[in-house]
């Protein structure tokens, strides 16, 4: 065993349950091998975490912005010092490869977002000063924030939730996904090297713990990234205590390729917009609308690029795509692709998983000549299968893109940026990208429209919500 893997195992041992305490084995979705044992926390551990957070929060808030920023920068340094170990845990547990926009990228983004939160300034704002009246708007911490995270980007989204909450003077109780608890527990163990005791605690419990967080009177706000169905349940559960909420919920992002686009020039961007993290990204491109004049050319260029991107076990350095993280998600993707095939749609690439291969690998799949009402288009597949729909007029494309109840992201692809912006202005989504898809930045506000949630994250606007 090499030194890095030994260090990774050492970190996994540090977060494992003590002898006699309940635990759950976590398996590698690429190989089926054991990654580690995660603790199984319950309501007692949650109550202890909330009590510790409430005790630690007043002093943290009183420390002021400068001291809190220094601690966040120190946390970023700790993440960087442990980056390779964290990336290997993430790759083994979540399945994403080390290289490309994957595990090492995600760990690096954690450090970058911690530093961005530390550097973002939110000053008191004078909203009225007319010689008679002066009104100044101040932003105060809420107290204790509950952060409920997903399994697709478990480390990065945890930092998206935790870093700004800490920057504003809050304490945080984190509930990681049951699919990826080790990644979050390891990350927070590293980050906590730079933070006061009790300020941030992970409670690796089941749905009972998540439900208790959303209803607990000691938690003033919940941040959640996940499905729309779970988001609605959180809204209902939080109503009695009138919690503040930031919800980043399901999406089924549309991309529109205008007839003046260059198929060869946009193929790489389209591919990574759709297939980053093997399609397991909330704001990934999940349905592509291409004008009939260049439809065949776009299909051909995209298929050629996609066929060359290697998929396999994440710890193998050459791979850029990995498995689906869990069996349930694999079955969703397989079901939707089979429905598309049964409808007569044309599979340009993939669609033929090797059932004898270990792990939850579903091949990169492109499906053309598919009806807009097909389940692969109308339902969020959250995996490596992209439907490509032909359209005749821009009005038709916009209508189809806006036709679903979700609206997290969207994109427009064109050689004419002014024309692309005009089309973008008609799309119902929280973020619309031009000639890209899913690109986020710590200073650019991010949030959903329609059933894709509400509240904003990132930058100054994100701090205002905490």
Q: How many CA atoms lie less than 13 Å away from 186 in the CB half-sphere?
A: 33
Report residue 148 as tokens: 């409920």
85, 93, 106, 282: the catalytic one is 282
Token pair 């904003």 is at which residue?
A: 456
Q: How far apart are CA 240 and CA 120, in angstroms?
A: 33
What is the three-class DSSP state of 102? coil
Q: What are 291's strand-pairing partners?
A: 391
Token pair 């990065």 is at which residue?
A: 156
Radius of gyration of the chain measured on its C-alpha atoms: 22
The percent of the chain in helix, strand and coil, each rounded to the nearest 5, is 45, 20, 35
Q: Is 262 exposed, middle or buried (0-12, 13-18, 19+ CB in 10 A)?
A: middle
The gap from C-alpha 213 to its chain's centroid, in whole angstroms, comes to 20
Quick check: is 282 catalytic?
yes
Pseudo-torsion of CA 455, 188, 214, 330, nearest 10°? 80
85, 93, 248, 457: the catalytic one is 248
Q: Is 317 exposed, middle or buried (0-12, 13-18, 19+ CB in 10 A)?
A: exposed
248-260 burial code (b ≥16 CB/10 A, e <16): bbbbbbbbbbbee
Quick check: is 248 catalytic?
yes
Beta strands of 105-177 (E only): which ranges? 125-129, 134-137, 144-148, 171-175
Catalytic residue list: 248, 282
């Amino acid at each position: 065993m090499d030194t890095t893997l030994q260090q990774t195992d050492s970190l996994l041992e540090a977060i494992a349950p003590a002898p006699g305490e309940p635990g759950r084995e976590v398996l590698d979705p690429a190989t089926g091998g054991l990654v580690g044992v995660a603790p199984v926390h319950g309501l007692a551990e949650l109550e202890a975490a909330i009590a510790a957070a409430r005790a630690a929060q007043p002093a943290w808030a009183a420390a002021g912005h400068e001291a809190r920023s220094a601690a966040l920068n120190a946390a970023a340094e700790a993440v960087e010092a442990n980056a390779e170990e964290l990336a290997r845990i993430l790759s083994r547990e979540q399945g994403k490869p080390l290289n490309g926009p994957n595990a090492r990228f995600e760990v690096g983004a954690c450090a970058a977002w911690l530093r961005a939160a530390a550097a973002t300034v939110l000053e008191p704002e004078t909203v009225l000063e007319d010689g008679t009246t002066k009104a100044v708007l101040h932003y105060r911490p809420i107290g204790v924030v509950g952060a409920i995270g997903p399994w697709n980007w478990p480390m990065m989204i945890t930092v998206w939730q935790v870093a700004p909450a800490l920057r504003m003077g809050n304490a945080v109780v984190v509930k990681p996904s049951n699919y990826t608890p080790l990644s979050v527990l390891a990350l927070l163990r590293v980050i906590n090297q730079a933070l006061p005791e009790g300020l941030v605690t992970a409670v690796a419990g089941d749905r009972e713990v998540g439900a208790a967080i959303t209803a607990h009177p000691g938690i003033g706000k919940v941040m959640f990234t996940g499905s729309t169905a779970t988001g609605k349940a959180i809204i209902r559960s939080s109503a009695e205590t009138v919690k503040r909420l930031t919800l980043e919920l399901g999406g089924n992002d549309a991309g529109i390729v205008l007839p003046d686009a260059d198929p060869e020039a946009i193929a790489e961007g389209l591919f990574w917009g759709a297939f980053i993290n093997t399609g397991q990204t909330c704001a990934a491109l999940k349905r592509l609308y291409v004008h009939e004049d260049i439809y065949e050319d776009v299909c051909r260029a995209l298929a050629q690029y996609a066929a060359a991107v290697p998929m396999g076990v994440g710890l193998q350095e050459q791979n850029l795509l990995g498995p689906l993280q869990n069996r349930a998600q694999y079955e969703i993707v397989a079901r939707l692709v089979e429905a598309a095939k049964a409808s007569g749609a044309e599979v340009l690439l993939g669609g033929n998983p090797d059932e004898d291969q270990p792990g939850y690998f579903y091949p990169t799949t492109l499906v053309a000549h598919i009806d807009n009402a097909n389940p692969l288009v109308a339902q969020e597949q959250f995996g490596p299968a992209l439907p490509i729909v032909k359209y005749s007029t821009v009005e038709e494309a916009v209508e189809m893109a806006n036709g679903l109840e979700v609206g997290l992201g969207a994109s427009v692809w064109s050689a004419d940026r002014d024309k692309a912006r005009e089309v973008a202005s008609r799309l119902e989504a929280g973020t619309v990208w031009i000639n890209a898809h899913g690109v986020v930045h710590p200073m650019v506000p991010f949030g959903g429209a329609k059933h894709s949630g509400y509240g904003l994250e990132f930058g100054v606007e994100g701090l205002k919500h905490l």
